[in-house]
């Protein structure tokens, strides 16, 4: 066993919160050995990021304080190092990459300058040598045309490419330790798997030890040698990745692992898990949308006539009562636009939308408002979706008030009832959104949608902003409501495992088109379209024993994009 | 129980917002100055030792003394009493001018931002045209139409700063309109009135309260300027700017006639600026999160 590169002992960090003090990290100890990947896992507020920022001396000076502890790195204590020496270490022997590759790169400086800056600043190389080294590094992280990239600005690169640049920047000094804070959370799943592959490759090439901070158990299973599980500032479990996954000791770890949706877990079932005694059966088609097309930014009246972006290209779908149709795809695939088009929050350029026999596109403003009683929406970020200046009660009451479902004391009774229905306490009716937790806010949004007894709910990434344990509860609630009231969901998500758990049917979208659609088992169990296959292969599984094969190389341009053809009953694939 | 109450401003945290304001040193100083000013204006008859308009309250052009704290002017009027009563005019100017520009600007900005399309284009281009004139030029033009006088000056200043408030409102509305809660209200089926007044307005107002507080000082300065030019307050009104202008010829013989009204203006402007900054710190959620 190699000697530890970094030994953290009894690290305690607190934040001053008004007059009081809030402990963010409480007595954390761990060791990091050379060439290993240590994953620090936890939910939001567990102190996983704070503990690593403390090592680099990057905590906000005014509010945060390292109270106790040591962090020994090559004979020195990182926590008591003077600022000057800390700066010399940072980016040189200890490097860090962040979640948001766009905001971590300076938008006004060329990639080349940002890459060579650290090299020249640390006085290691001349400008010319640094340039060559940077080009070499860009090639190493898998960017094509590295010399061209050197002259480009961050906005000219895609998210995945920017994260590669960040990694190149971090690795250029061949640091002993790389701290990666949620390095792939903002990326699409196919890009994520490429970046993870790259990090693994660089680790073996340079022998760098990696501290991987993440909330994603799938990523942990793919990457980690050892795992530290944190909860509210404390370490609850530490061990080899395999042991932690197969025989977790702490209750919290067990619960956390149980809450993680696993792709393939519901392979045998034709429908989502039944959570109520007599579930409403899938019924008649409610919604029928055909050949919807939407182009954004095509030729304004005064400003040039650009060709615009096709957000939706000949999209057709059907939704039955008590059924969930999931729209899966990566960012920019048009799934959100499709959800909004059905509610006519976005007007389509072409195509038809019929809801229970009504032509949605032909409705007047008043007719549209009436229709919105039957179709409600739930959003990704529940905090942003709630008007911060209205009380929880007023927010839940609002749709009922608009549609004159109830008034006066009857209305307040209904609000109380809805609060209980979604698992909120009626005492909290007078509170404001910022006084609730993330999961409670999403429950509020659900209560809000539920009040007018809609038939369809469009849920746009309803659990993406939530921790996994909270996600599991919200999904459970959604299933229960569907089976009780026969609600139809259009469930928009990028997370294939969640989609598998929730849906009856799945439609996979890519660049504005549905490339594959069919029953859940068919699409996820026996995917036909190359894009679906790539998407499924890229999903990280919370199982360290699974060895994922090489990623399929996706020929995006040559891929079949339609029209859809029925390859098996109810299973459509783009030809 | 009523659930329809949109929270009073600057709610949802009105009590804690006040506490936060009292914790910011700039806010406290500004608040003290402004509250003092309001009290002085309200209690002017009790504070002022003389009638501000009474000539020969003492000998002419007396330097400050125990009897006349700020001295007397060329008509023998008590300068201190005139400044105390002048606070009333100053506050009137501030509230009326800002009231006019804020209300009109808010309405224009809301309608333009919410309406979008050609409404937005026409209204905002119109605002742009007005914006390209200096405020004082617009105010002068208004005075040329209405005729001179302090009331007309207040209205003129109010009209002149409408474009500014319209622009600020418009930009805030565009931001708020892009937030999911607005979309959520639309998808719930909310109509125009509800969207405008229950969702947009309460979220736009905090910013405008800050801008309006800061705007009071601009209005006071502009009114003083107009009065200085002889277009605003007319003799014998105890308006500070006018007092400044009438002291012009006596600057070497009776500097107190200029110093004290000048100081009064400076302190008032400072007070509203500090208060505006304090309110901004309190209402800005990014500042609060820390």
Q: What number is the ipTM of this complex? A: 0.78
HSE-up of A25 (CA within 13 Å, CB side)? 29
Q: Report the residue from A380, A385, A393 with minimal CB separation from B3.
A: A393
Cis peptide before B154 (omega within 30 of 0): no
Distance from C-alpha of B44 to C-alpha of A23, rounded to nearest angstrom: 54
HSE-up of A538 (CA within 13 Å, CB side)? 26
Query: In this structure, are residues A43 and A260 in contact, taking their beta carbons and an 8 Å threshold?
Result: no
To the nearest 10°, report the CA torsion of A98, A102, A103, A105.
Answer: 80
The angle at the Cα of A523, spanning A194 to A332, to the nearest 5 degrees, equals 50
Restricting to A residues 412-431, those with a Cβ less than 8 Å away from any Cβ of B are 412, 415, 429
Per residue in B134-143, pLDDT tens? 888 889 999 9
The average pLDDT across A288-303 equals: 74
Distance from C-alpha of A2 to C-alpha of B143, rounded to nearest angstrom: 85
| Lookup result for tokens 């500004």 | B30
What is residue A349's DSSP assignment? S
Chain A hits for B191, Cβ within 8 Å: 369, 402
The model's pTM: 0.82
- Say if B118 is an interface residue toward chain A (CB within 8 Å): no
Q: Give how far Cα B184 sits from Cα of A311, A324, B102, B241, Å.
A: 21, 21, 28, 51
Distance from C-alpha of A539 to C-alpha of A500, rounded to nearest angstrom: 12
Closest residue by Cα to residue A515 from A322, A313, A244: A313
Which ranges of A460-570 does DSSP label H, i.e. alpha helix? 468-485, 496-502, 520, 530-538
Whole-number average pLDDT of chain A:
87
Residues β-bridged to residue A490: A325, A458
Q: How confident is the model at residue A39 (pLDDT cuts 50, 70, 90)?
A: very high
- Say if B189 is an interface residue toward chain A (CB within 8 Å): yes
Distance from C-alpha of A66 to C-alpha of A207, rounded to nearest angstrom: 30
CB spacing of A403 vs B191 below 8 angstroms: no
Rg of chain A taking only CA atoms, in angstroms: 26
Task: Output the pLDDT for position A354.
Answer: 94
Task: Output the pLDDT for position B6.
Answer: 39
Highest mean predicted confidence (pLDDT) among A48-57, A385-394, B19-28 = A385-394
Q: How confident is the model at residue A549 (pLDDT cuts 50, 70, 90)?
A: low
Name the minimum distance, in Å, from the CA of A329 to any CA of chain B: 21
Residue A387 has pLDDT above 70, yes or no: yes
HSE-up of B277 (CA within 13 Å, CB side)? 13
Cis peptide before B10 (omega within 30 of 0): yes
Closest residue by Cα to residue B98 from B88, B110, B90: B90
Query: In this structure, are residues A390 and B9 in contact, taking their beta carbons and an 8 Å threshold?
Result: no
CB spacing of A370 vs B189 below 8 angstroms: yes
3-state secondary structure A290-313: EEEEEEECCCCCCCCCCCCEEEEE
Chain A hits for B183, Cβ within 8 Å: 345, 377, 379, 385
Which ranges of A122-246 does DSSP label H, i.e. alpha helix? 127-140, 146-150, 159-171, 189-206, 217-223, 241-246
Residue A568 has pLDDT above 90, yes or no: no
Residue count (chain A): 575
Cis peptide before A563 (omega within 30 of 0): yes
CB spacing of A394 vs B203 below 8 angstroms: no
Name the minimum distance, in Å, from the CA of B12 to any CA of chain A: 6
A285-296 and A309-320 strand pairing = antiparallel
Name the minimum distance, in Å, from the CA of A83 to any CA of chain B: 23
SS3 state at A392: helix
Residue A430 has pLDDT above 80, yes or no: yes
- Say if A387 is an interface residue toward chain B (CB within 8 Å): yes
Restricting to A residues 441-460, those with a Cβ less than 8 Å away from any Cβ of B are 445, 448-449, 452, 458
The two tokens of residue A394 are 């007023």
Residues β-bridged to residue A358: A355
Closest residue by Cα to residue A186 from A213, A218, A163: A163
- Say if B193 is an interface residue toward chain A (CB within 8 Å): no
Residue A177: phi and psi, rounded to 5, are -130, 135
CB spacing of A376 vs B6 below 8 angstroms: no
CB spacing of B198 vs A390 below 8 angstroms: yes
Q: How many CB atoms lie within 10 A of CB A433?
A: 23
The two tokens of residue B111 are 């309608």
Q: Which of A376-380, A402-406, B279-283 has the lowest mean pLDDT?
A: B279-283
The average pLDDT across A148-164 equals: 86
The average pLDDT across A80-99 equals: 84
Restricting to A residues 43-72, those with a Cβ less than 8 Å away from any Cβ of B are 63
Q: Report the residue from A372, A397, A403 with minimal CB separation from B3.
A: A397
The average pLDDT across A146-165 equals: 86
| Lookup result for tokens 């040189």 | A92
Query: In this structure, are residues A372 and A400 in contact, taking their beta carbons and an 8 Å threshold?
Result: no
Residue A33 has pLDDT above 60, yes or no: yes
Residue B234 has pLDDT above 90, yes or no: no
Mutate to test the interface with B, among A364, A389, A428 (most CBs of B within 10 A): A389
Contacts for B117 with CB less than 8 Å, ≥ 6 apart: none
HSE-up of A232 (CA within 13 Å, CB side)? 2
CB spacing of B188 vs A388 below 8 angstroms: no
Chain B hits for A375, Cβ within 8 Å: 187
Chain A hits for B7, Cβ within 8 Å: 389-391, 432
CB spacing of B188 vs A399 below 8 angstroms: yes
CB spacing of A390 vs B7 below 8 angstroms: yes
Q: How confident is the model at residue B4 (pLDDT cuts 50, 70, 90)?
A: very low
What is residue A466's DSSP assignment? S
Strand order in the sheet with A488-493: A375-378, A456-460, A488-493, A324-328, A505-510, A513-519, A571-574, A564-568
Mutate to test the interface with B, among A340, A374, A387 (most CBs of B within 10 A): A387
Task: Output the pLDDT for position A298.
Answer: 55
The angle at the Cα of A497, spanning A493 to A501, to the nearest 5 degrees, equals 90
Q: How confident is the model at residue A254 (pLDDT cuts 50, 70, 90)?
A: very high
Distance from C-alpha of A387 to C-alpha of B3, rounded to nearest angstrom: 14
Per residue in B146-173, pLDDT tens? 988 889 999 999 999 999 999 999 999 9
Per residue in B249-269, pLDDT tens? 888 888 998 899 999 999 999
Task: Output the pLDDT for position A416.
Answer: 93
SS3 state at A126: coil
A505-510 and A324-328 strand pairing = parallel
CB spacing of B187 vs A393 below 8 angstroms: no
Mutate to test the interface with A, among B7, B181, B289, B290 (most CBs of A within 10 A): B181
Chain A hits for B192, Cβ within 8 Å: none
Distance from C-alpha of B139 to C-alpha of B160, rounded to nearest angstrom: 5
Distance from C-alpha of B64 to C-alpha of B255, rounded to nearest angstrom: 10
Percent of chain B with pLDDT over 90: 39
- Say if B181 is an interface residue toward chain A (CB within 8 Å): yes
- Say if A477 is an interface residue toward chain B (CB within 8 Å): no
Per DSSP (E only), the strands in A329-444 are 350-355, 358-359, 375-378
Per residue in A437-459, pLDDT tens? 888 999 999 999 999 999 999 99
What is residue A210's DSSP assignment? E
- Say if A432 is an interface residue toward chain B (CB within 8 Å): yes
Which ranges of A44-158 does DSSP label H, i.e. alpha helix? 48-55, 83-89, 101-104, 111-121, 127-140, 146-150
Chain A hits for B180, Cβ within 8 Å: 379-381, 384-385
The two tokens of residue B46 are 């009790």
Task: Output the pLDDT for position A420.
Answer: 92
Q: Report the residue from B13, B180, B290 with minimal CB separation from A384.
A: B180
Residue B280 has pLDDT above 70, yes or no: yes
Distance from C-alpha of B135 to C-alpha of A210, rounded to nearest angstrom: 60
What is residue A78's DSSP assignment? G
- Say if A381 is an interface residue toward chain B (CB within 8 Å): yes
Q: Given phi > 0 = left and psi -120 to 50 = alpha, else beta, which region is B48?
A: beta
| Lookup result for tokens 């190092």 | A81
Residues β-bridged to residue A539: none
The average pLDDT across A424-429 equals: 90
Task: Output the pLDDT for position A88.
Answer: 82
Name the minimum distance, in Å, from the CA of B11 to any CA of chain A: 7
Q: Report the residue from A376, A394, A415 with minimal CB separation from B188.
A: A376
CB spacing of B3 vs A389 below 8 angstroms: no
A64-73 and A76-77 strand pairing = antiparallel
Higher pLDDT, A320 or A126: A320
Mutate to test the interface with B, among A374, A382, A386, A388 (most CBs of B within 10 A): A388
Residue A309 has pLDDT above 90, yes or no: no
Cα dihedral A511, A516, A519, A524 sign = negative
Strand order in the sheet with A76-77: A20-33, A4-17, A64-73, A76-77
SS3 state at B159: helix
- Say if B126 is an interface residue toward chain A (CB within 8 Å): no
Query: In this structure, are residues A378 and A449 in contact, taking their beta carbons and an 8 Å threshold?
Result: yes
SS3 state at A73: strand
Burial of A248 (0-12, 13-18, 19+ CB in 10 A): buried
Task: Output the pLDDT for position A550.
Answer: 67
Q: Which of A141-145, A347-351, A548-552, B206-210 has the lowest mean pLDDT?
A: A548-552
What is residue A362's DSSP assignment? G
Cis peptide before B239 (omega within 30 of 0): no
The two tokens of residue A467 are 């921790």
| DSSP H or E run through B25 | helix B25-42
Chain A hits for B185, Cβ within 8 Å: 387, 398
Name the minimum distance, in Å, from the CA of A282 to any CA of chain B: 25
Q: Give how far Cα A129 sits from Cα of A94, A124, A171, A410, B112, Å.
A: 22, 9, 16, 76, 56
Higher pLDDT, B284 or A176: A176
Chain A hits for B3, Cβ within 8 Å: 391, 393-394, 396-397, 411-412, 415, 429
Closest residue by Cα to residue B86 from B121, B44, B128, B142: B44
| Lookup result for tokens 């809301």 | B110
Q: How confident is the model at residue B2 (pLDDT cuts 50, 70, 90)?
A: very low
């Amino acid at each position: 066993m190699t000697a530890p590169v970094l030994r953290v002992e009894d690290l305690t960090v607190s934040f001053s919160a008004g007059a009081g003090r809030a402990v963010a990290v409480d007595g954390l100890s761990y060791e990091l050995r050379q060439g290993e990947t240590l994953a620090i896992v936890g939910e939001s507020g567990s102190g996983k990021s704070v503990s690593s920022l403390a090592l680099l001396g990057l905590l906000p000076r005014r509010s945060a304080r390292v109270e106790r502890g040591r962090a020994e790195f090559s004979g020195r204590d990182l926590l008591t190092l003077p600022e000057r020496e800390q700066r010399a270490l940072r980016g040189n022997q200890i490097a860090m990459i962040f979640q948001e590759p766009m905001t971590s790169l300076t938008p006004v400086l060329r990639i080349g300058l940002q890459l060579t800056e650290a090299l020249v600043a640390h006085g290691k190389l001349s400008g010319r040598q640094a340039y060559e080294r940077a080009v070499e590094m860009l090639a190493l992280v898998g960017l094509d045309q590295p010399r061209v990239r050197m002259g480009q600005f961050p906005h000219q690169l895609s998210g995945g490419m920017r994260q590669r640049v960040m990694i190149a920047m971090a690795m250029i000094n061949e640091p002993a330790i790389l701290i990666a804070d949620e390095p792939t959370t903002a990326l699409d799943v196919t890009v994520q798997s490429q970046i993870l592959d790259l990090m693994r490759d660089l680790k073996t090439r340079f022998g760098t030890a990696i501290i991987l901070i993440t909330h994603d158990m799938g990523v942990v299973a793919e990457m980690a040698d050892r795992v530290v599980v944190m909860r509210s500032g404390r370490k609850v479990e530490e061990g080899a990745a395999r042991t932690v996954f197969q025989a977790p000791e702490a209750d919290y770890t067990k619960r956390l692992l149980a809450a993680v949706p696993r792709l393939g877990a519901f392979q045998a079932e034709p429908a989502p898990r039944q959570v109520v005694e007599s579930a409403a059966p899938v019924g008649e088609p409610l919604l029928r949308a055909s050949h919807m097309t939407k182009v954004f930014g095509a030729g304004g009246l005064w400003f040039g006539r650009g060709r615009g972006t096709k957000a939706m290209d000949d999209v057709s779908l059907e939704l039955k009562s008590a059924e969930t149709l999931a729209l899966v795809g990566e960012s920019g695939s048009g799934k959100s636009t499709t959800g909004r088009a059905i509610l006519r929050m976005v007007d389509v350029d072409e195509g038809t939308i019929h809801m229970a026999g009504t032509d949605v596109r032909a409705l007047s403003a008043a007719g549209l408002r009436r229709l919105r009683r039957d179709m409600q929406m739930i959003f990704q970020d529940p905090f942003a979706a709630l008007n911060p200046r209205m009380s929880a009660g007023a927010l839940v009451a609002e749709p009922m008030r608009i549609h004159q479902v109830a008034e006066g004391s009857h209305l307040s009774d209904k609000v109380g009832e809805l609060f209980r229905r979604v698992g909120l306490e009626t005492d909290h009716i007078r509170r404001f959104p910022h006084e609730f937790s993330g999961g409670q806010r999403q429950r509020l949004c659900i209560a809000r949608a539920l009040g007018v007894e809609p038939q369809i709910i469009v849920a746009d990434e309803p659990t993406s902003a939530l921790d996994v344990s909270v996600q599991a509860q919200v999904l459970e609630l959604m299933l229960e409501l569907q089976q009780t009231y026969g609600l139809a969901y259009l469930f928009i998500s990028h997370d294939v495992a969640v989609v598998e758990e929730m849906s009856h049917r799945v439609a996979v979208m890519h660049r504005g088109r549905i490339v594959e659609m069919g029953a859940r088992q068919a699409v996820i169990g026996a995917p036909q379209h190359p894009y679906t296959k790539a998407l499924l292969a890229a999903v990280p599984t919370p199982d360290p024993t699974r060895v994922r094969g090489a990623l399929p190389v996706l020929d995006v341009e040559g891929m079949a994009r339609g029209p859809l053809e029925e390859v098996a009953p109810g299973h459509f694939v783009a030809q | 129980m009523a659930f329809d109450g949109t929270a009073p401003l600057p709610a949802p945290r009105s009590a804690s917002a006040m506490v936060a304001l009292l914790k910011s040193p700039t806010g406290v100083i500004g608040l003290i100055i402004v509250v003092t000013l309001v009290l002085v204006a309200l209690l002017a008859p009790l504070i002022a030792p003389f009638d501000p308009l009474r000539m020969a309250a003492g000998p002419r052009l007396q330097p400050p003394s125990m009897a006349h704290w700020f001295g007397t002017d060329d008509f023998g009027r008590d300068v201190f009493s005139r400044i105390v009563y002048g606070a009333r005019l100053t506050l009137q100017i501030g509230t009326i001018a800002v009231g006019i520009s804020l209300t009109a600007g808010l309405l224009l900005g809301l309608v333009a931002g919410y309406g979008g399309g050609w409404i937005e284009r026409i209204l905002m281009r119109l605002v742009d045209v007005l914006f390209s004139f200096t405020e004082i030029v617009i105010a002068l033009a208004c005075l040329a139409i209405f005729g001179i006088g302090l009331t007309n000056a207040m209205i003129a200043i109010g009209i002149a700063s409408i474009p500014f408030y319209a622009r600020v409102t418009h930009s805030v509305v565009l931001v708020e309109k892009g937030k999911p809660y607005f979309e959520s209200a639309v998808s719930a089926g909310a109509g125009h009135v509800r969207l405008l007044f229950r969702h947009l307005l309460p979220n736009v107002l905090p910013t405008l309260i800050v801008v309006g507080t800061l705007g009071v000082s601009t209005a006071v300065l502009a009114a003083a300027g107009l009065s200085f030019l002889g277009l605003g307050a007319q003799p014998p009104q105890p308006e500070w700017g006018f007092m400044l202008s009438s002291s012009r010829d006596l600057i070497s013989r009776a500097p107190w006639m200029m110093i004290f009204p000048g100081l009064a203006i400076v302190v008032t402007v400072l007070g509203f600026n500090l208060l505006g900054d304090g309110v901004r710190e309190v209402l800005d959620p990014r500042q609060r999160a820390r």
